[in-house]
């Protein structure tokens, strides 16, 4: 989010919205922990003083579950 503060535009919040497609049978809890860890290690917001919020989106990919590594 951008806001004008004291005549200067500043980044006041960073929202990360990764899209993660899981194969059927995957553990969404494990995926959530991986996303949280990756957000903490992400180099994009690291040099910023703004807070970072993670809003992941998930979907189950049943086709990927039938083929190795999602190959078609």
Average pLDDT, the chain: 76
pLDDT band at 65 (very low <50, low <70, confident <90, very high): very low
pLDDT band at 43 (very low <50, low <70, confident <90, very high): confident
Count of beta carbons in the 10 Å neighbourhood of residue 42: 14
The token pair at 29 is: 């809890």
Query: Which phi and psi (to 5°) does residue 8 adopt?
Result: -125, 140
First and final CA of the chain: distance in angstroms? Answer: 39
CB-side neighbour CA atoms (13 Å) of 28: 9
pLDDT band at 63 (very low <50, low <70, confident <90, very high): low
């Amino acid at each position: 989010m951008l806001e004008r503060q004291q005549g200067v535009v500043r980044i006041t919040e960073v929202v990360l919205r990764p899209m993660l497609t899981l194969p059927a049978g995957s553990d969404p809890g494990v995926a959530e922990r991986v996303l949280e860890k990756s957000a903490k290690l992400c180099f994009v917001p690291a040099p910023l003083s703004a807070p970072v919020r993670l809003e992941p989106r998930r979907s189950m990919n049943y086709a990927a579950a039938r083929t190795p590594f999602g190959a078609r």
